[in-house]
Amino acid sequence: IPLLRRALAMSKRPLLLFASPWTAPAWMKSNGDVRGKGTLKGKAGDKYHKTWANYFIKFLDEYAKHNVTFWAVTAQNEPLAGLFTPPQAPTIAFTAAQQRDFIAQDLGPALARSAHRTRLLTLDDQRIHLPHWAKVVLGNATAARYVAGLAVHWYLDAIVPPGCSLEATHKLFPDHFLLYTEACTGFFMFR
């Protein structure tokens, strides 16, 4: 919070902050651990999903107490990586359908009811998953009304041309923006 406050004070224009969760508490996950391959217990609409959605609101509430607001949150950082990550990585696995249902039944309504005007982003994973992810999530009218845009990572960009992923998705859902949210150099050791 002190670093965010310094950055906000130094900026000549407003900073648009976004947050992206890596994992839920262990007691909410199917594997009983914050690390490794696990999903939220149960299914969308149940106590685990509603509680996890409320964690987002509590997070926003606590930062707001320090005059730090978030422009957006993502529903999950790399939801499909949760199926493939090393056992020590903190994550929650979501399929597109699971994330759609979580957004439609739990996270979207919780954000809409809250005092926060924070936007919601979906995917937050490799663009190789587009346009499929967008079709599943944004193809559902209930989920789509809560989602402002799609968060995309760049690590596997060389595999899928932008026309097949970004452009195709934009043509299908022109009212939802596409935003690169994670990237780094040196990801591939051989480059």
Question: Could you read off the pLDDT of 173-186 as tens digits, one per residue?
Answer: 999 999 999 987 66
pLDDT value of residue 36: 86
Confidence band (pLDDT; 50, 70, 90) for 187?
low
What is the per-residue pLDDT across 126-142, written as a single tens digit (0 to 9) for each?
999 999 999 999 999 99
What would the pLDDT profile of 46-69 be if each residue is shown by its tens digit? Answer: 999 999 999 999 999 999 999 999
- For the residues 34-54, what does the mean pLDDT come to? 95
pLDDT at 81: 82
Write down the pTM of the prediction.
0.94
Domains and CATH numbers, the chain: 1-182 (3.20.20.80)
Residue 189 confidence (pLDDT) above 80: no
- Is residue 132 within 8 A of residue 96, CB to CB? The reply is yes
The catalytic site residues sit at 78, 182
Q: What is the mean pLDDT of residues 87-98?
A: 92
Residue 97 has pLDDT above 90, yes or no: yes
Higher pLDDT, 14 or 135: 135
Lowest mean pLDDT: which of 21-25, 35-39, 140-144? 35-39
Region 35-42 average pLDDT? 92
Is the predicted pLDDT of residue 191 greater than 70, yes or no? no
